[in-house]
Amino acid sequence: MSNENDLTRVESLFVRHRNVLMVRAPFCDIFTDHYLHLADHDLRYPPEIDHQLKELYALLTLHAVARPWAETHAWTVNLRAPRVNFFVTASSLSINVTGRAFLEDVREHPQSTLYSQVTQNGEKPRMSTVELETSNPFDWLEHYYRQSEQRPAKVFELPDEVFVLLAAQPDYDEEWFENLDLDQVAQMNDTEDLSPLENRFFKFECGCSLERIVPALGIWRERPEELFQGEPSVEISCPRCAAKYRVTPEDLNS
């Protein structure tokens, strides 16, 4: 089990007299592990795509902490321009966040869209779909909250890669919330009455392995000649984090 000192602590606080939930965390360690993961698997994303992916790690992690413990969240984002698909998942139970970008063979969609999936206790996943109008992940989350959570939310990035999610609760201070800016959020420890609610802990980790990837090959296990085409092995990437694995015919039969 991971030591809490090796994990990213995500704070959940209540802004008293404003009726607003604040969730915040520094993501420098998660971003560092993201880059170590890319280096380990010889992966590289264009700077803009990499930046958006890291923001999605932060936003979905904060959102997961704003939600009940037992939920696992997954977002798939299809963008028209640039033509790319993102996948990000976060779970308070597994204390992890991971994801990837798909850059090759991406079908052009008529509308940029965010697909959200929430699973809890083995129940059937709950799905929702939000059409996107910008390429800014902060806008995606705020639009998602308005449509799917049916309450307003705002996201801010402070220095040192600290991200903050503010989500309105019933009877929130509407005027104060609408006029919030970066400086106000940075000074909230001094200017607002904050009540700690809980801390959760996260790390960048997928948990994939060759043993988990092989069963997912499905029909290819029955048609190995089509998969390998005479080669001694093929490279398979994890659909969740893009980690690369070499698969041999022997692996399919193990």
The whole-number pLDDT of residue 46 equals 96
On whether both 129 and 243 belong to a single domain, the answer is no
pTM score of the predicted model: 0.93
The whole-number pLDDT of residue 254 equals 66
Three-state SS string over 189-215 comes to HHHCCEEEEEEEEEEECCCCCHHHHHH
On whether both 149 and 192 belong to a single domain, the answer is yes
The whole-number pLDDT of residue 226 equals 77
Per-residue pLDDT of the chain (254 residues; tens, 9 = 90+): 456 778 999 999 999 999 999 999 999 999 999 999 999 999 999 999 999 999 999 999 999 999 999 999 999 999 987 889 999 999 999 999 999 999 988 888 889 999 999 999 878 999 999 999 999 999 999 999 999 999 999 999 999 999 999 999 999 999 999 999 999 999 999 999 999 999 999 999 999 998 888 877 777 777 778 788 888 888 889 999 999 999 888 887 76
Query: In this structure, how many other beta carbons lie within 10 angstroms of the beta carbon of residue 197?
Result: 13
Question: Angle between the 28-40 and 47-66 helix axes, to the nearest 10 degrees?
Answer: 130
The whole-number pLDDT of residue 2 equals 56
On whether both 199 and 130 belong to a single domain, the answer is yes
What's the gap between Cα 19 and its chain centre? 26
- Strands, sheet with 71-79, edge to edge from the N-terminal-most edge strand: 126-131, 113-120, 71-79, 84-91, 96-102, 194-204, 8-15, 20-26, 162-168, 153-158
On whether both 103 and 228 belong to a single domain, the answer is no
The whole-number pLDDT of residue 105 equals 84
On whether both 240 and 184 belong to a single domain, the answer is no
Distance CA 225, CA 239 (A): 22
Print the domain residue range for 235. Answer: 210-253
**Contact between residue 120 and residue 70 where contact means Cβ atoms under 8 Å apart:** yes
On whether both 189 and 225 belong to a single domain, the answer is no
On whether both 143 and 34 belong to a single domain, the answer is yes
Number of folded domains that form the chain: 2
On whether both 56 and 73 belong to a single domain, the answer is yes
On whether both 216 and 181 belong to a single domain, the answer is no
On whether both 24 and 138 belong to a single domain, the answer is yes
On whether both 130 and 215 belong to a single domain, the answer is no
On whether both 101 and 199 belong to a single domain, the answer is yes
Domain CATH number, residue 163: 3.55.30.10
Given 163, 187, 204, the domain boundary residue is 204
